[in-house]
Amino acid sequence: MSLGLLAGANGGSRIQPAQRRVYGFDTETYYSKGYDIRSLGVDAYVADPRFDCYLASFWGPHGNFVGHPSECPWEEFNDCVWISHNARFDRAVFFRMKELGIVPAHIMPREWHDSAALAVYLQAPRNLAGAAEKLLGEKPNKAIRDAMKGIQGGLLCHDKAVLDYALDDARLACELWISHCDKWPKKERLLSQLTIEQGEYGVHLDQKRIREGIETLTQVRDDEATNLPWFPRLKPSSPKAFAEACQQARIPIPNSTSEDDPQTQEWIERYGERYPWLKHMSEWRKANRMLKVLETMQSRCRRDGSLPFGLKYFGAIATGRWAGDAGLNFQNFNREAYYGVDPRKCLVARPGHKLIIADLSQIEPRVLAWIAGDRELFDKIRNGLPIYQAHAETSMNWKGGDLKKENSNLYLLAKCRVIGLGYGAGCKTFQSLARGYGLEMSIGEAKRTVDDFRKANPRIVSLWQAVEDSMRYHIGSTFFMYLPSLRSIRYFDVQEEEGLTATTERGGRRLHWYGGKLTENLVQATARDVFAEGLLRIHKAGIRILWTVHDEVICEVPENSDITVETVTDLLAQTPDWIPGLPVAAEGIETSCYTK
């Protein structure tokens, strides 16, 4: 099907070269149970022998095309601006088709933007149907996509309903861009593009370490399974078997079995001595989860030894922080090795290269002090005092010298206070947090600590109240909370329902809000924007950024490069013009593998 024919059929006209502008670009590919992005990741999916892109579609104000990629007049769209909804996927499909000779080698867009990233920046749903509904007022029917599952492309590429569906996806991506791109700052567009490119470039793997880790964890997992009362009759992971075992033991069934849940750990500590299988169950889960991570790494490794991955730009829709994607979360690797296995150490520099890992030092409490106007605290920090000692001097009446050396217990308490109490946490939450750092205290001690923190930090407490009052003033409407960077977080449809409620995603789930939680969003979003400015400086300096984790950046440079840890930390730790006086600092290391 030619571009001219379809354009004429839809009332358009054949594109003239001088008119080339912006086009939505979309692809449709075969997928089935077990052969999908979630199971394989984008890059392994397109490299699989089953890969079949049976439709490509372009839509723009000057004309359009939909049909088999081999029939596409690619020259008509060369050197234009392309908009895809989930550009990471469509780029992978496009480059794979170039490898297969379906797309001419010289074809490339002038720019390639992601309308899904634009949508989440505007706090709309990431998926196309949700974005179109909330930003364009349209409700596309995605049922056709579900019906295409497991059907070969040869049976679909001439189906009019499928053709219309594919072209409409390209149209919606283009309309989202045309209608809203002016609301998406160029810096944020670049951050979105860098996020995509980081995942495409990937990180090198230590495959020997992965194989050894898989062998170790398989043995641990199998050993732990033999200690479960329902195995081998039922699978170790059976929720039904777990619940029945708890009922037979006459112990409560926990709401969660996540090892990260403090209540789960308390439950195991309480009943684990009498019922050892509880600990074996916990250990089985740990081994199995880490084993799945290593197996996923191994299965997705490319021929050159690198591992591609996915990151979500604006994964946290209010704060704008990045999040993991596609079944392998680069934002949440285990912090501690397990039976000597550490997935992070499997991520290594390419041959002839080294990693430089840098992160912003205590950026959140620094930003909190700046926003709250605690000049005494951040003046001490700016003069070189460690933040936990600065807090102890300003809020805990410490009059001595080096707190960490002279009173390690008080230093740990100061650290827990800074990390845990800036956003209004209560005594139970603080007690649990302190325990995670190795500081045991009774609930009474935790309450006295919380009360003392609030009494000693009236500016922070006033900030909580101020942002909560501001939200309450906007009941029945949208509350715009402006950041120092001039970006805003929008809280839609504010209501008073047993406290303040609102959504941060257009049409999303309603959440409860209070001053401390709003302050947390304000601080984390501001810290993210400070970090983003540093990333752009590092990129502008020509340094390869592999990926980011919260306030940490992982860079890769040649071994003989003049780029040092100080080069990266100096670029990362500059104070943006829009937050004058903020004492920004960064630390870093040079290493051959990823580590904390």
- Together in a domain, 487 and 561: yes
Q: Residue 151 is encoded by which pair of tokens?
A: 């059907």
pLDDT value at residue 15: 40
pLDDT at position 267: 80
Name the pairing type of β-strands 111-114 and 81-84.
parallel
Do residues 17 and 91 share a domain?
Answer: yes
Query: In Å, how far from its chain's centre is CA 142?
Result: 25
pLDDT at 82: 97
Write the CATH number for 119.
3.30.420.10
* Domain end residue (candidates: 456, 488, 513): 456
Q: According to the 3-state scheme, what is the secondary structure of 240-286? A: HHHHHHHHHHCCCCCCCCCCCCHHHHHHHHHHCCCCCHHHHHHHHHH
Strand-pairing partners, residue 66, are: 57
Is residue 37 located within the same domain as residue 77?
Answer: yes
pLDDT tens per residue, range 103-150? 999 999 999 999 999 999 999 999 999 999 999 999 988 888 888 888
Concatenated DSSP letters of 516-582: HHHHHHHHHHHHHHHHHHHHHHHHHTTPEEEEEETTEEEEEEETT-S--HHHHHHHHTPPPTTSTT-
Once rounded to an integer, what is the mean pLDDT over residues 79-104? 97
Sequence letter at residue 418: V
Report the alpha-carbon distance of residue 25 to residue 8 in Å, rounded: 19
Label residue 14 by pLDDT band (50, 70, 90). very low
Domain that holds residue 584: 309-332+342-374+475-596
409 CB-near residues (< 8 Å, 6+ apart): 439
Q: Which of 158, 146, 162, 159 is nearest to 33 (CA)?
A: 146
pLDDT (0 to 100) of residue 115: 98
Tell me: pLDDT of 198 over 70: yes
Average pLDDT rounded to a whole number, residues 318-326 = 90
H or E segment and range at residue 514? none
Looking at the fold, whether 486 and 435 belong to one and the same domain comes out as no
Mean pLDDT of 152-158: 85
pLDDT at 264 over 90: no
pLDDT at 566 over 60: yes
* pLDDT given for residue 20 in this prediction: 52
Greater pLDDT, 64 or 9: 64
Query: For tokens 């980011």, what's the residue?
Result: 548
Statement to judge: residues 362 and 501 lie in one domain: yes
Cα–Cα distances in angstroms (integers) from residue 587 to residues 14, 142, 188, 358, in the given order: 56, 47, 25, 5
pLDDT for res 276? 87
Count how many domains the chain has: 4
Helix residue spans in 48-142 (DSSP H): 74-77, 87-99, 115-121, 128-136
Report the CATH number at residue 353: 3.30.70.370
Mean pLDDT of 429-441: 89
pLDDT (average), residues 163-181: 96
Output the pLDDT for position 473.
96
Q: In the chain, what percentage of residues exceed pLDDT 70?
A: 96
Instruction: Indicate whether 150 and 218 sit together in one domain.
Output: no
- What is the rounded CA–CA span in Å between residue 409 and residue 405? 10
In angstroms, the CA 398 to CA 390 distance is 9
Q: Is residue 582 part of a domain?
A: yes
pLDDT of residue 99: 96
Percentage of the chain modeled with pLDDT above 90: 76
Count of Cβ atoms closer than 10 Å to residue 349 Cβ: 24
Confidence of residue 572 (pLDDT cuts 50, 70, 90): very high
Q: Based on the domain organization, do 408 and 420 belong to the same domain?
A: yes
Can you tell me whether residue 83 is helix, strand or coil? Answer: strand
Whether the predicted pLDDT of 13 surpasses 70: no
Q: Do the Cβ atoms of 360 and 538 come closer than 8 Å?
A: no
Same domain for 155 and 83: yes
Q: What stretch of H or E contains 149?
A: none
Write down how long the chain is.
Answer: 596
Q: Which of 184, 216, 251 finishes a domain?
A: 184
- Check: CB of residue 586 under 8 Å from CB of residue 561: no
Ranking 91-100, 117-126, 399-408, 480-489 by mean pLDDT, the lowest is 399-408
Q: Please state the rounded mean pLDDT for residues 431-453.
A: 92
**pLDDT confidence of residue 11:** 31
Q: Please return the burial class of 456, using the count of CB atoms within 10 Å of its CB with bins 0-12, 13-18 and 19+.
A: middle
Tell me the mean pLDDT in the region 365-373: 95
CB of 67 closer than 8 Å to CB of 163 = yes
403 and 444 within one domain = yes
Residue 595's nearest CA partner among 284, 243, 309, 333 is 333
pLDDT exceeds 50 at position 568 = yes
Q: What one-letter code names the amino acid at 557?
A: V
User: Given a cut of 70, is residue 280 above it in pLDDT?
Assistant: yes
Above 70 in pLDDT, residue 10?
no
pLDDT on residue 192 = 97
Q: What is the mean pLDDT of the chain?
A: 91
Query: Environment class of residue 442 by beta-carbon count within 10 Å: exposed (0-12), middle (13-18) or buried (19+)?
Result: exposed
Please give the average per-residue pLDDT across 13-19, as a whole number: 39
- As a whole number of angstroms, the longest Cα–Cα distance in the chain is 82
Q: Is the pLDDT of residue 70 over 60?
A: yes
**Pair 39, 135 in one domain:** yes
Average pLDDT of the residues in 475-494:
96
pLDDT on residue 395: 93
The answer to whether residue 189 sits within a structural domain is no
**Residue 517, pLDDT above cutoff 50:** yes
Name which of 13-22, 67-76, 123-132, 550-559 the model is least confident about.
Answer: 13-22
